[in-house]
Structure 1
Amino acid sequence: MKIKQHPQWLALAAVLLCGGAADAQTTKTKYIDKSNMQPSVKPGDNFYVYANGEWLKKNPVPGSKTRWGSFDVLREESSKRLQTLLEDAAKNTSRDRKTQIIGDFYASGMDSIGIEKKGFTPISADLNRISALADIKSFLYEVATLRTNGMGSALFGMGVGPDRKNVTVYIPSVSQGGTTLPDRDYYLKDDTRSTTIRNAYKEHLKKMFTLVGEDAATAEKSAASVLQIETELARAQYSRVEMRDPYKTYNKFSVAGLNTLTPAINWTDMFGLMKVKGVDSVLVGNPSFLKTVNGMLGSVSLNDWKSYLRWNVIRSAAPNLSSAFVNQDFAFNKVLTGQKEQTPRWQRLSGQIDRMLGDLVGEIYVEKYFKPEAKVRMLELVNNLQATFGERIKRLDWMSDETKTRALEKLNAFAKKIAYPDKWKTYEGVVASRTDYIGNLRSASIWSYNNMVNRMGKPVDRTEMGMTPPTINASYSPSNNDLTFPAGILQAPFFDFGADDAVNYGGIGAVIGHEMTHGFDDQGRQFAADGNLKDWWTKEDADKFKAKADEVVNQYNALTVLDTIHVNGKLTLGENLADLGGLSIAYEAYTKTEEFKKGKLIDGLTPAQRFFINWAQVWRNNAVPETQAQLILTDPHSPGIHRANAPVTNIDAWYDAFNVKPGDKMYKPKEQRTRIW
């Protein structure tokens, strides 16, 4: 998932959850297919392999993917559904506006012959304009122009969202950004992997500059300029762990104060150029980063800045230009991720349209593929989990009554967004032509940008869903204090009407509990019931929480991927806390069901065993080594094996369900098991 370069607090605290599709008419015993398990492995030695071993052997990563797991199967199915909808829209001759836009957008992107003929002419005017820049003032004007015209976000990130200390009003935020590689460490570390990627990146830059007409010597110089600028920007960036601190990244400036911080940038003019109106205050995620940018505006030559801006135009357009650009873009991606084959054009395009025009395609998706009764049942499950979570908070032995009262206030204030939005976006002003793919992309990007900046001065819209209906994911937003479960995730193995309660609670129940726990993880707990960033804890309770959270950090720090690369327990803390809390809450909620109380075996498995096995099977996943190494640096989620295994070692019911005893490799004595929520 690609995240926009806004401050991390602004992003939704999302869990990357996906799962394999199943036929709604399948008998209950088939929701857990025992042929995918590896019973020769003791559950207490490696529960993940016990639950998934045979599936992992039989399901290598396809050439066009970087990882393949139960949720990737479901994502694949969702993309095929989108393909059907988009192809039908493209063929439909008697179309309403909604169908016309997505149909013509899709047709333009599938017109490989037309795209090939154009080469890089769709961006040639932009490149020429940049080449003609006369001074730093015109350079900064161009930075704003590219942003407002849907051609990337050079130099820094900028967004408009709720002020996290006053969530009833919108405020612009300026954040660190301006780099291409997935993490600052790729620029700064000298280990073999980082050096290899940096060298490949420099070659990639040279080849891309050559493709837009630069001779070899000029392309070499341009590539060196870009790498030097981005490396300097990377040095000034906070780490991903630092970006998780909502107070560290909350720095409010008046516009005049921001002008004083960076005298080389007139922010009054800059916000005007970026169409952000009525600005009196600005949030700055990393003030020292902007100071570095300010210094670079005086030290870096204009010619180097021109190369940097030309690169921003090229890289934002390259995946959508002629095959020479697409192939070179993929060639570098192979080094970065290990992906062996290009994702099919139809699949790239269907995902792109879903991201850019999600409500248009989502409305059609819901009409065709979503059962309304699933929304009703889902709300029941959410309410069940919410009630159980409340009971657990009341029983906590480490929290005072004062803090419990406020925790319950926050829990009971959760807003719930299920399946699809109450009001669909109409994307007024977006136009789509069957012969202008790049123009269509820009039209949709410009709409998205304008929609964001036009929020200024308006009441905060707390009804917006942060995900499109087909998305296989779920999220919690601290500023909105809301839970989002798109239609896409309301399918097996997470949720199905035909499945037994063990499967549904071990799947979507754990997802619900996970998202609820995000409201009380190391970041979420710092936001109050109304969504504002403010401290509602007693100091003693906060200290106890931090001590327990440190236990989780240490547990995950000890885990590895590819034998030697350790999980970053601080980067993944929020998701690890949510996994532990979500699974614990879901299991207790499940014990209240009649099915659990009856204790009937299904396919030789007890209710508790089926609950935990489905949890583990949700996380089955094969990934190529390059992607595994990248995700350890960039992903706030732990690898699938550890998401399956680590939480259960802290839950007594798992030990009972599988008779896990001292001597088993995953066994932890009771006094060492971490219990938080």
Structure 2
Amino acid sequence: MSGLRILRARVVAACLFATAGPVWAVHGIDPSDIDRNADACTDFFQYANGAWRANHPIPQYMDRWSKRWESGELNKERVRDLLADMAARRDWPAGSPEQLSGDFYAACMDESHVDELGLKPAQPLLDEIAAIKARADVQRTIGRLHEIGVGVPFKIVVAQDLHDPTRVIAHVDAGGLGMPDRDYYLKTDQRFVEARDKYRTHVAKMFELAGARPAMAKQDAAVVFAFEKRLAEASLDNVALRDPHNEDHRTNFAGLVAQAPAFDWAAYFDAARIPREDLNVTQPKFLQRFAAELKSTPVAQWQTYLRWQVLNAAADALSTPFVEENFAFNGRYLAGTTQMKPRWKRCAEATDRQLGEALGRKYVEKYFPPEAKARMQEMVRNILLAMKDTIGGLDWMGEETKKKALEKLATFNPKIGYPDTWKDYRGLTVARASHWDNTVAASRWNTADERAQIGKPVDRGRWGMTPPTSNAYYNPMLNEIVFPAGILQPPAFDVNATDAVNYGAIGVIIGHEISHGFDDQGAQFDAQGRLANWWTPEDEKKFQARGQCVVDQFEGYFIEPGIHHNGKLVLGESIGDLGGAKLAWLAYRKSREGKEAEPTLDGFTPEQQFFLAWGQVRGDETRPETQRTMVQGDPHPVAKYRVNGPLSNLPAFRAAFQCKADAPMVRPDKDRCEVW
């Protein structure tokens, strides 16, 4: 995970709304997962993990499945067991991590009580919207919704100043859409036309559940869609959002007021306790559209829109009919899943989302030993050294740019496992009486915690993911690579595995995150995390040409006839995978110098095991519906091309499996992509 999208990821915890992993072969890859009927040099994705996928169909509640996804879901069983133990006791000190986490989980798990309450917990908020009489009331309600993480129709993102990352400022950002992105409202392809019809039906059903008659619900759904479409027309698309300059519009408070004078920014900032200092408007055109809506849209339509946004944000914290209808559109239709996750899993996820560091403290105590952190630290050091050697040896980059690149590399800050200082949830009250009330209280606390950073020097100890999360990220403004404890489990990482396997799995992920510091987004930030050009014009052109090679490669990857990857959208992640595989390979080879050769396993050399480890950890089976959604808006390619795409560019892969020059997994020299 990479780039400026982390600005948005940091507010996820404020929205209202990984037991041991699967048993892997001792100290190495599992040969039984390999499809012996496939050819490594034709389709390595199928070869490396095809037998595993054939024997492990996607669970009905998941939209994709692989050894790593299985590990992530099994990891939630660890979380569940911890939460169940904490929930079993009622004598924890008030405000302690155990009391907060245990009571939040217990209230969520009391499904009968949640169902008995129905819509009642959200009714005061809906009544407040129903009582709106004037545009000033609309504005106050927007502020109230923002307090509990419902960021509509705009949202405040708390992050560093793009030009002075030592400071934290407010970024006034676009929001307010109920579908995945703007193209769902605007594109004329049949799949988007169908999605719009399904969405209007979904919105109407939610209004009916909230008490509206069918005819009025349908009418209100049309109002919501028309309103959101106007917002979508003023929003940037996913490719444009990849260029940080497109979201760089620094201004002061007076400048903000001038851009959207119809909104009472002074009252909003005062109520939110946000200092009236320099800030950034990510999408001025969107802000202007918002201001126009305040002036021209009837108050009654604002009420309809806001009522929908509350129902949409709150659905999973309400009774079963709301949960099921929310799943019908977002899970069954958009993702292709046929069954909801069991309630315990949804409650574990909700607890982690809202109280991630309270829960995370208990998680790392039990499931992340010191030796695992030490092994990871060693691997990170080795892969950073591989990147240093790579930069130093580039024949296409001049010495001036190399110096700047090495300066940036030297300031990389790895974070492994968990924060050095845990959040103190002082002031947050969680009880067992109401899951809704707990969700709102935690959302309000997280929002206030984020807002409290504005105007202060950046706290480099804060994390953008919780410790149990099975993922990783790079933050360009902090120039940090972060690996939560949740991803440092088999098959991605095993403290007892061979170097070949660990470097081929988590090593490629480490290299991936390092490479993000030098992908199409990360390369625009300097050693201090500033959005600043440190390239000579000649080197920048060469870098862009190498990136275009990757764009062209992925434009040719189709998920089905007529639907292919957008090379510009997946450029950053694909540079990350390409660089990650190369860096991890170089670091692995370097780490084995002077040591006894690792064993051949079932006929597979250590070199082959390295690449098989990557193919097995990344070998997702993905539902067609999810693939379509990914191709539209996800900067990550689908798994098949995350495996085959980068490896087809690597001479080391060709040599390891002795592929012929014309094999599908070998790109011709004239087409071979290499950025780092």
Provide the TM-score with structure 1 as the length reference.
0.95
Range with bigger deviation, 304-313 or 48-57: 48-57
Question: What is the match of residue 41 of structure 1?
Answer: 38
Question: What is the match of residue 492 of structure 2?
Answer: 494
**Cα deviation per residue 1:196-217 (whole Å; 9 max; x = unaligned)?**
2211111111111111122223
* 1:380 maps onto 2:375 in alignment: no
In structure 2, the CA distance between the partners of 1:652 and 1:211, relative to structure 1 (3 Å rule), is: same
Deviation of residue 20 (structure 1)? 9.1
Alignment of 1:220-369 (within 5 A): 220-276=218-274, 278-333=275-330, 334-369=332-367
Equivalent position amino acid for 1:60 in 2 = P
SS across alignment from 1:166: coil
Alignment of 1:483-562 (within 5 A): 483-562=481-560
Which stretches in structure 1 are left out of the alignment for 5+ residues? none
Question: What is the match of residue 173 of structure 2?
Answer: 175
Question: What is the match of residue 32 of structure 1?
Answer: 29
Question: What is the match of residue 402 of structure 2?
Answer: 404
Does structure 2 conserve the Cα–Cα contact (< 8 Å) formed by 1:20 and 1:493? no
In structure 2, the CA distance between the partners of 1:428 and 1:20, relative to structure 1 (3 Å rule), is: closer
Q: 1:471 aligns with which of 462, 466, 469?
A: 469
Query: Equivalents in 2 of 1:598, 1:217: separation in Å?
Result: 73
Query: Equivalents in 1 of 2:386, 2:228: separation in Å?
Result: 49
Deviation of residue 269 (structure 1)? 2.3
SS across alignment from 2:279: strand
Does structure 1 conserve the Cα–Cα contact (< 8 Å) formed by 2:116 and 2:319? yes
* 1:53 maps onto 2:50 in alignment: yes
Query: Equivalents in 2 of 1:11, 1:445: separation in Å?
Result: 15
In structure 2, the CA distance between the partners of 1:20 and 1:568, relative to structure 1 (3 Å rule), is: farther
Deviation of residue 477 (structure 1)? 0.5
Deviation of residue 348 (structure 1)? 0.5
SS across alignment from 1:670: coil
Does structure 1 conserve the Cα–Cα contact (< 8 Å) formed by 2:647 and 2:653? yes
Deviation of residue 59 (structure 1)? 1.7
Query: Equivalents in 1 of 2:8, 2:479: separation in Å?
Result: 13
SS across alignment from 2:540: helix
Query: Equivalents in 2 of 1:195, 1:61: separation in Å?
Result: 28
Query: Equivalents in 2 of 1:50, 1:83: separation in Å?
Result: 35
Question: What is the match of residue 674 of structure 1?
Answer: 673
Does structure 2 conserve the Cα–Cα contact (< 8 Å) formed by 1:184 and 1:239? yes
Question: What is the match of residue 121 of structure 1?
Answer: 120
Deviation of residue 368 (structure 1)? 1.1
Query: Equivalents in 1 of 2:156, 2:177: separation in Å?
Result: 14
Equivalent position amino acid for 2:294 in 1 = L
Alignment of 1:11-160 (within 5 A): 11=8, 21-23=21-23, 27-28=26-27, 31-96=28-93, 97-150=96-149, 152-160=150-158
SS across alignment from 2:541: helix
Does structure 2 conserve the Cα–Cα contact (< 8 Å) formed by 1:433 and 1:440? yes
Equivalent position amino acid for 2:441 in 1 = S
SS across alignment from 2:158: strand
SS across alignment from 2:590: coil
**Cα deviation per residue 1:466-496 (whole Å; 9 max; x = unaligned)?**
1111111111110001111111111222221
Does structure 1 conserve the Cα–Cα contact (< 8 Å) formed by 2:6 and 2:464? no
Question: What is the match of residue 164 of structure 1?
Answer: 162
CA-atom RMSD in angstroms = 1.9
Does structure 1 conserve the Cα–Cα contact (< 8 Å) formed by 2:546 and 2:673? yes
Deviation of residue 667 (structure 1)? 2.3
Query: Equivalents in 2 of 1:242, 1:256: separation in Å?
Result: 27
Deviation of residue 274 (structure 1)? 2.8
Equivalent position amino acid for 1:147 in 2 = H
Deviation of residue 519 (structure 1)? 0.5
SS across alignment from 2:637: coil
Deviation of residue 183 (structure 1)? 1.4
Does structure 2 conserve the Cα–Cα contact (< 8 Å) formed by 1:157 and 1:177? yes
Deviation of residue 437 (structure 1)? 0.8
Question: What is the match of residue 434 of structure 2?
Answer: 436
Q: 1:457 aligns with which of 455, 458, 462?
A: 455
Query: Equivalents in 2 of 1:376, 1:7: separation in Å?
Result: 29
Does structure 2 conserve the Cα–Cα contact (< 8 Å) formed by 1:7 and 1:175? no
Does structure 2 conserve the Cα–Cα contact (< 8 Å) formed by 1:133 and 1:306? yes
In structure 2, the CA distance between the partners of 1:668 and 1:149, relative to structure 1 (3 Å rule), is: closer
**Cα deviation per residue 1:244-277 (whole Å; 9 max; x = unaligned)?**
111111001222122222221232222223331x
Which stretches in structure 2 are left out of the alignment for 5+ residues? 11-17
Does structure 2 conserve the Cα–Cα contact (< 8 Å) formed by 1:354 and 1:468? yes
SS across alignment from 1:485: strand
Equivalent position amino acid for 2:128 in 1 = R
In structure 2, the CA distance between the partners of 1:199 and 1:10, relative to structure 1 (3 Å rule), is: same
Provide the TM-score with structure 2 as the length reference.
0.95
In structure 2, the CA distance between the partners of 1:170 and 1:543, relative to structure 1 (3 Å rule), is: same
Deviation of residue 599 (structure 1)? 6.3
Query: Equivalents in 2 of 1:606, 1:175: separation in Å?
Result: 51
Query: Equivalents in 1 of 2:333, 2:592: separation in Å?
Result: 52
Alignment of 1:178-193 (within 5 A): 178-193=176-191
Range with bigger deviation, 85-94 or 263-272: 263-272
Query: Equivalents in 2 of 1:130, 1:174: separation in Å?
Result: 23
Does structure 1 conserve the Cα–Cα contact (< 8 Å) formed by 2:171 and 2:281? yes
Question: What is the match of residue 15 of structure 2?
Answer: none
Range with bigger deviation, 260-269 or 463-472: 260-269
Deviation of residue 22 (structure 1)? 4.2
Equivalent position amino acid for 1:632 in 2 = V
**Cα deviation per residue 1:270-308 (whole Å; 9 max; x = unaligned)?**
2223331x2222201110111111112222111111000
Query: Equivalents in 1 of 2:533, 2:8: separation in Å?
Result: 20
Query: Equivalents in 2 of 1:248, 1:64: separation in Å?
Result: 37
Deviation of residue 64 (structure 1)? 1.1
> Identity across aligned pairs (percent)?
40
In structure 2, the CA distance between the partners of 1:487 and 1:8, relative to structure 1 (3 Å rule), is: closer
In structure 2, the CA distance between the partners of 1:457 and 1:250, relative to structure 1 (3 Å rule), is: same
Query: Equivalents in 2 of 1:531, 1:89: separation in Å?
Result: 40
* 1:205 maps onto 2:191 in alignment: no
Deviation of residue 127 (structure 1)? 1.0
